[in-house]
Structure 1
Amino acid sequence: MGVVGRFIQCALYSGTFASSVYTLHWLQNDFVTPISQSYGSHFQFVTILGLTFTGIAQLFGLFGVLSGIRSFRNIKAYMDLIAAPLEVLISVGYWGIVAYDRKLLMDPEIAPIPPLMFDIFLHALPAVSEIIDVLVFAPRWTKSYEVLPLFFAVAGGYWSWVHLTFEKNGFFPYPLFAIVDTPGRAGIFTFATLFVSVVYGLLKRLQNVVRG
């Protein structure tokens, strides 16, 4: 990759990392809500967990480009397997459900609507950044059969975490989880996991189209 390519790559990684840090700082310090003061704070939301994970991945990517150390690039590549499909799920799921009924995702009494700029930083920018990175800069994704267990493991981890916060707080971060029963929530998690797997496959195909 030439100098211009590395410059663009650094700009992408540093910009995404900076926006992630700025958004997390704003959430913790300036967006005080009932949910931010409950157990788990904003990290009850998969959006915030994804934003944090993506920000760390981009930081490793920046270290890899600037230092040339392969280990940083390898860590970034493995993190992208989760970050890219997850951010697409977050973006598509959020804007799709918001278009139908925002109250399914956000109870205004415990989690008010964020300003538009931060809404974009949370629910659009990370997905766009990850898609560009995977299609243009990331190593090619060559395997498909190993990712589904990984995605189910991530879903299982979030399932355990969100139910732990429910036990502590007496409410779910997403009102949708309270509307359905346990089998219903299991169905939502299963669908989301399969959706992420489909996104992975689509991004893998698009890599081949973009790079030839």
Structure 2
Amino acid sequence: MLKILFHLVGAIQFFYGCYYDYNYVIVPPSPKSPSTFGGKFKYLTYLNAMLQTLYFTIALLNDLIGSEDVTPSEKPLIRRIKDAIFSALAFPISLFVGITFWGIYAVDRELILPKMLDAVFPAWLNHVMHTNILLFTFVELASSFRMYPPRKRGLSILTTFMLAYVVWVHVIYFKSGTWVYPILAVLSWPLRIIFYIFSLMLVFGFYTLGETLNKSIWTKEVEITVKSEKKKAK
């Protein structure tokens, strides 16, 4: 029952965060941001909040109609989707968004969330998008067992998502003449490339961290499931 309630609260709060941001957070035009091309969908924070909404909704449905058995003979499709989304996307991207946001914010908030936006981007929404994603992700990791996909497959999904987003950022730049994030405007092209590579390595590290923590917290369940799958494959 507590797990159902947790997933319900997660789905509702991230959905409402996306809804409020999309409908009520209107950034006033300025010389630094003359174009609205891409709308809210140009921000990784917003895309991640949508991803969290999707994940917690699927997790809730899995609670109601799926299975949490550690060695199910046939895991239902919704359970497999749930495990894959959390492992390859929801966990590493949440850590990337939350940690990089607050890290850059601590150095110079004008590079990530200019003070002028405080009037339209409320503090509670900032914490839903950048703080709660970390809290809910770690609670989810500790409270629900999942089998990580083979590392090659998981990293392939994550890499595809991150590279697609980098391409999207550049489409926006070439269409509008402005960068999605002010920090990109102060970097030269060589430094931007280094920044992208560093970001990719960082999110890979977060994937590995999630995989390692999952094995540490759910050691017995992982061993039982691996043995069961090996027997099934014979």
Normalised TM-score (structure 2): 0.80
Read off the aligned partner of 1:72 and give its amino acid letter: I
Matched, 1:133 2:140: yes
Equivalent position of 2:85 in the other structure: 79
Equivalent position of 2:112 in the other structure: 105
User: How many equivalent pairs are there?
Assistant: 204
TM-superposed deviation, 1:85: 0.7
Q: For structure 1, which runs of at least 5 residues remain unmatched after alignment?
A: 1-6
Read off the aligned partner of 2:13 and give its amino acid letter: S
Greater Rg by CA = 2
Read off the aligned partner of 1:21 and give its amino acid letter: F
Give the % identical residues: 20
Match for residue 121 of structure 1 among 120, 128, 152: 128
Match for residue 18 of structure 2 among 20, 24, 46: 24
Q: Deviations over 1:143-181 (max 9, x none)?
A: 333333333222210011111111222211200111113
2-structure distance, mates of 1:94, 1:161: 19
Equivalent position of 2:62 in the other structure: 64
Read off the aligned partner of 1:95 and give its amino acid letter: W
TM-superposed deviation, 1:50: 0.7
Q: Secondary structure at the match of 2:82?
A: helix
Equivalent position of 1:52 in the other structure: 50
Q: For structure 2, which runs of at least 5 residues remain unmatched after alignment?
A: 68-75, 220-234
1-structure distance, mates of 2:128, 2:45: 10
Q: Secondary structure at the match of 2:152?
A: coil
2-structure distance, mates of 1:85, 1:36: 32
Distance 1:36 1:150, change over 3 A: farther
Q: Is the 8 A contact 1:151 1:193 kept in 2?
A: no
TM-superposed deviation, 1:8: 2.1
TM-superposed deviation, 1:36: 11
2-structure distance, mates of 1:210, 1:116: 33
User: Within 5 Å, which residues of 2 pair with 1:155-194?
Assistant: 155-194=162-201
Q: Deviations over 1:90-131 (max 9, x none)?
A: 11111111011011113456xx13222111100011222122
